[in-house]
Structure 1
Amino acid sequence: MSIFKVIRVPIPTPTLYPHTTTNCYLIGNDQDCLLVDAGYDVMETRTLLEEAIKENGLAIPQRIILTHHHPDHAPGVKQLTDWSPIIYCHEKEKEEIITAISPLEKVSHLSDGELIPVAGEKLQIIHGPGHTAGHLSVYLPSPKILIAGDNIVAEGTTWIGPPDGDMIDYLQTLNRLENLKLSKIGPGHGNWVFRPYEHIEFVRNRRLHREEQIKSLLQEHKHLTSAQLTEFIYNDSIHPSIFQVAKRTTEAHLIKLMKEGAVTLEDSAYSIVS
């Protein structure tokens, strides 16, 4: 009997500090296998995936699920064209995915709740927006494994921000993921997460803490731009290379607070609503 496996394959990518790799996941056995995410468009992507396939006795994947369109997750499919895979994404991610994997053009859609058979198991598709509008996660009910994409990263928290990120959606996605029966999480970056509920709670608390920081700073300083808020929040504690994505995450919090009527924007400066 063929053994069903879920194999994490970290692929070196120019991703955000502190991570240096993006995870791809091989799911299946020697008869049927699919791939979740495809890394960066470099030959090393193909080499490392083929090594993992051979080492674990897996079939060449005929299906590739892309969690989202970012350049460290999707374009690597261009290294795998001779597999002739069917490429899947959420409909809300279609245009961005096609741009990311060009000149490949054909993609198929997956919907929230859809069940995908592989090697005698069924994977459940979860549309979990927040990081991007069409972000997908993949849940394996039998082994209770969540392949989270960038909804969860092993170290720190994922960035959420405009133009395609939404903090309200992201917090709702975390609530949904927390309600799954989980033994471990396969994050978009970093090692397996073996304390899934603690980690989801950590991520949620980090986001809510940032929100409180923003409100407190606006109470104290009255008027601040998103860049000024980000500087106050991090106080030179983050690597310069990620300042802009930190700023976008601050802006996602501000957009949420404006939607909730707690903050207002005028002449590029934000103020608390009294």
Structure 2
Amino acid sequence: MGTCKEIYPGIFKIVQSKPRRIAPPVNVYIIAGDDGLIFDAGYGDDTSIQLAGDAINSIQNRNKNWRILRVLPSHSHPDHFSGLKQLKSHYGLKVMLTEQMASVLSNKHAYRNSYKLSTLQKYRYSTVFERISELPLQVVFRTMYKKVYGIAFLQSHDTTVRPGETIAINGYNFTIIHGPGHCNDHIMLYDNKEGILFAGDNILRSIYTWLGPPRSNLQEYFDTLEACLRLPNLKLILSAHGSTIHNPKERIKEIIEYRKLRTRQVYSLVANETHGITFARLLNSIYPRSLERRWLAKGWIIVTLEYLVNNNILTFEGRKIKLGANDINTV
């Protein structure tokens, strides 16, 4: 079956790979049964779709009672939804979306609007010159996303799903869990009997998930991670990137502590500046030697600042970031 492997009885994983500096390898999971489901649609380029199609055929040939009929993304980031349209047109899969995902993925304008910063965020975190200078780069990335990711939008879908509903497949009963933080429309699937969590991008084994405005929220991410810790029988996490997590609660605690450490780092840098600090200086303090890393990583810093400002631990005076009324130990 090539790159499609059975990682748990009736659950298969495909790894769609790209040059790492262009796009991350992404895991696409197939839960086999007479009404089988693909969780995360992956990329939409011809090679990725062919890989998924070969896996579907191989799985169905393995057991004549198995039919892969549905596909559901974990969230509306391009490495998770781009394959939806082609999987539907090539293999007849029914597309399942939440209402929130459907509104974002209906067309390119809705999708782009979902990433627009507010006027206040633009003022705080960039200058007019910076925004103008980034325009050519945005055009390049849009072109690259369309070609490399194979992005395609859907004017309609087949089934609307909602958090709290259960998807039954071949003896598994997966509850849909709303899990915002990384992305505001993120969902996860959890089978309590087997203790299996399809975590999407929320929990990764060896790296920390990307956060960035306006669709990431650090408080919501903490809440999602704490909710995962409370899952009563959690034994195994199947993530959208990387390998299987066999020590789920330990890994979740590591991620929480890492995010708290980064939060205190941002707070400390502001606290050391008597007259406040601009975002540009703060960013340069954390990533002093790498323009590329600054560009890629500034999202988590913005999300962390928003979290601290919302908790009145930091505050803005114009473009200057200063200490707020509350202590860092209140969060």
* TM-score scaled by length of structure 2: 0.74
The CA distance in 1 between the partners of 2:212 and 2:18, in whole Å, is 21
Provide, for residues 166-225 of structure 1, a one-character-per-residue CA deviation record: whole Å limited to 9, x for no partner: 111110000001111222111121111111111111111111001111111001124223
How do 1:1-274 residues align onto structure 2 when only pairs under 5 Å count?
4-13=9-18, 20-29=24-33, 31-56=34-59, 57=62, 59-80=66-87, 81-99=89-107, 101-180=152-231, 181-222=233-274, 223-236=276-289, 241-273=292-324
- Structure 1: stretches of 5+ with no match in the other structure: none
- Structure 2: stretches of 5+ with no match in the other structure: 1-7, 108-150, 326-331
- Structure 1 101/242 Cα, relative in aligned 2: closer, same or farther at 3 Å? farther
SS at match of 1:190: coil
Report how many residues are paired: 268
* TM-score scaled by length of structure 1: 0.88
- Structure 1 154/16 Cα, relative in aligned 2: closer, same or farther at 3 Å? farther
User: How well do the aligned residues superpose, as a CA RMSD in angstroms?
Assistant: 2.3
The CA distance in 2 between the partners of 1:211 and 1:67, in whole Å, is 26
Larger Rg: 2
- Structure 1 262/66 Cα, relative in aligned 2: closer, same or farther at 3 Å? same
CA contact (8 A) 2:72 2:96 kept: yes
Query: Partner letter of residue 42 of structure 1?
Result: D
- Structure 1 242/108 Cα, relative in aligned 2: closer, same or farther at 3 Å? farther
- Structure 1 8/229 Cα, relative in aligned 2: closer, same or farther at 3 Å? farther
Of stretches 100-109 and 39-48 in structure 1, the one that deviates more from structure 2 is 100-109
Query: Partner letter of residue 271 of structure 2?
Result: Q
Of stretches 3-12 and 185-194 in structure 1, the one that deviates more from structure 2 is 3-12
CA contact (8 A) 2:37 2:69 kept: yes
Query: How far does residue 242 in structure 1 lie from its aligned partner after superposition?
Result: 4.8
- Structure 1 105/14 Cα, relative in aligned 2: closer, same or farther at 3 Å? farther
- Structure 1 16/204 Cα, relative in aligned 2: closer, same or farther at 3 Å? farther
SS at match of 2:106: helix
